[in-house]
Chains A and B, each alone.
Chain A
Amino acid sequence: MDDNVEISVKNLSLWFGKFQALKNISIAIPKNEVTALIGPSGCGKSTFIKTLDRMNDLVDNVRITGEVIYKGRNILDDDTDVVQLRKEIGMVFQKPNPFPKSIYDNVAYGPRVHGIKDRKALNDIVEGSLRKAALWDEVSDRLNESALRLSGGQQQRLCIARLLAVEPNVLLMDEPASALDPIATSKIEDLLYELKREYTIIIVTHNMQQAARVATHTAFFLLGELIEYASTIDLFERPRDKRTEDYVTGKFG
């Protein structure tokens, strides 16, 4: 497999009961780049990224066929160590979901469940993760305050910090800025730009300008199908498919 490919998806289909939510998707996600998934609501983009860290396991009545190759293995196999997988492929959700615990305990949560107890080591991880998530300067003097007192944008960066603390390879982001104001959104976007040096990032977004700003590659989903996948510039300026063109020029969506 190509060294620059982090995750390779082949012929992925997914059904919720009788409803087919993903139709024969094949896509290669490049390493250390930001890949954006765009498309109207209900097109399957969130369902798609939830497949990549097996979060759809939590939903009743799901059937999946096809392959998702990560590190040379099909992660859809029954014998996949889901706990280890989710450590390596982490997710930031649409709505910030900090735990009702202190800022410190939120960031230390992952390392703790993975067995790190040493206070000094935890302190270092918490500070490092908050710095990477560009939140340290705003919270360093109130780490013991409840995370629920932070603003929405800060909460989302905290959730990113919480994820970075478990040292993942891949960050899945499901519309991470959709609940945030423009200033908080631009902070998240700046952060993505920094983070892609170290991480492979897949971001689902409603917002085409956002995709154009942050992503090197963009995939357009429609009704469960992957319509077009190309470099972001090509997809927006020289779409090959009529449906992509209609969507990126705002004719529907």
Chain B
Amino acid sequence: MPVKRREMVPLALLWASGIATLFILIVILAFILANGLPLVNWNFLTAEPSVWGQTGGGIYSTIVATLAVTGVSLAVAGPISVGGAIYLNEYTKENFLRRIIRQAAEILAGIPSIVVGLFGFLFFVIYLAPYTGGWSVLSGGLTLAFMVLPISLRTSEEALKTVPAELREGSLGLGATKWQAITTVVVPTALPGIVTGLILGLGRAIGETAAILLTAGGALNLINSLYDPGRPMTLHLYDVLTEYRDTSTAYGTAAVLIIAILAITFITDWLMNRYTNKLKGL
């Protein structure tokens, strides 16, 4: 279809905005990967970081710490957010309380991470120290759970909302109990959306730095338990850069972080597409 002359300028601007978004992403990815990837090899991934005051070394203990804090946050926030979304969407009517809870989740998602970190520091590191080990990957993970929770709750709720009412009616109409309808029809149908919410939360947890800075402790040693202080990759990146100006270790760590997040995103997308197609019978 021919474009009218006076529509060409706005159209060009829209096109440029679209391209700019893509371009910025590519520049960042290319820059980090070009600088970081040459450093990433088996040794970098499996060696311990160098001791205080020296540059270089691997990032093995920081990968383990990232897995630990992320795992703790998902283990805590996952069931609560999915359970909360199911409760809100299936068991409560659209009323004042529900709007309050939803609003609360949104506000929680908007609290600056350093403020969440401050709370985590006061509550988990100081007040609950006998149970969390003070500075520890457990304290860090629990603090991250506050940030994962609202993201995954809202996404799960949206996913449950998209399940057609006819499917619930169909199930209840056959004499299924409400619980059976939820477990056998509603949740399986909403599963791709629920998993997407958890992955978004996971991405947030892996990438978070400020809240971790105040709660996880930052020790370079390989953790033995969740009660040990640890240094996740994001914090390691921050430390080596600000303390030692070790840009190459920072780039290498950044590259590993980005690859991990890209891999998680693509693999989940692929799995969920397969699952959705199976539901649709394709």
Contacts and interface: CB of A to CB of B under 8 A. Distances in A.
User: Do A and B actually bind?
Assistant: yes
A58 B279 CA distance: 26
A183 B176 CA distance: 32
Given A93-B166, A97-B166, A97-B169, A83 B281 contact: no
Interface stretch (B139-147, B177-185, B196-204, B210-218): B177-185
Contacts of A5: none
Contacts of B185: 99
A99 B167 contact: yes
A30 B172 CA distance: 25
Contacts of A90: 173-175
Contacts of B184: 109, 112-113
Interface string A113-126: 11000000000000
Nearest to B173: A91
Contacts of A112: 184
A97 B181 CA distance: 14
B170 interface: yes
Contact of B174 (A87, A100, A101, A146): A87
Interface in B148-203: 164-177, 180, 184-185, 188-189
B162 to A, nearest CB: 12
A110 B189 contact: no
Interface in A187-238: none
Given A95-B166, A148-B280, A55 B174 contact: no
Nearest to A114: B175
Contacts of A110: 174-176
B93 interface: yes
Interface in A151-166: 159, 162-163, 166
Interface residues of A, number: 31
Contact of A97 (B94, B167, B281): B167
B169 A113 contact: no
Contacts of B279: 100-101, 146, 148
Contact of B281 (A53, A93, A146, A159): A146
Nearest to A61: B93
Contact of A146 (B170, B177, B188, B280): B280
B25 to A, nearest CB: 34
Contacts of B180: 113
Given A113-B180, A148-B281, A162 B174 contact: yes
Contacts of B170: 93, 97-99, 159, 162
A55 B169 contact: yes
Contacts of A166: 174-175
Interface string B248-282: 00000000000000000000000000000011111
A100 B94 CA distance: 27
A86 B33 CA distance: 60
A222 B94 CA distance: 31
B175 A84 contact: yes
Contacts of B280: 100, 146, 148
Contact of B171 (A60, A99, A146): A99
A149 interface: yes
Contacts of A163: 173-174
A113 B174 contact: yes
A145 B194 CA distance: 25
Which of A55, A60, A99, A148 has the most CB atoms of chain B within a 10 A radius of its CB? A99
Given A60-B94, A87-B174, A113-B175, A100 B189 contact: yes
B198 to A, nearest CB: 21
Nearest to A172: B173
A147 interface: yes
B280 to A, nearest CB: 6
Contact of A86 (B94, B165, B168, B174): B174
B174 A58 contact: no
A97 B164 contact: yes
Contacts of B169: 55, 58, 91, 93, 97
Contacts of A83: 175-177
Interface string A77-99: 00000011011001101010111
A109 B176 CA distance: 9
Given A147-B281, A148-B280, A148-B281, A113 B173 contact: no
Interface of B: 93-94, 164-177, 180, 184-185, 188-189, 278-282
Given A53-B173, A60-B94, 9 more contacts: A58-B172, A86-B173, A90-B173, A93-B170, A100-B279, A100-B280, A146-B278, A146-B280, A146-B282
24 contacts: A58-B165, A58-B168, A83-B175, A84-B175, A87-B175, A90-B173, A90-B175, A93-B170, A99-B167, A99-B170, A99-B171, A100-B188, A100-B279, A100-B280, A109-B174, A110-B176, A113-B174, A113-B175, A113-B177, A146-B281, A148-B281, A162-B170, A162-B174, A166-B175
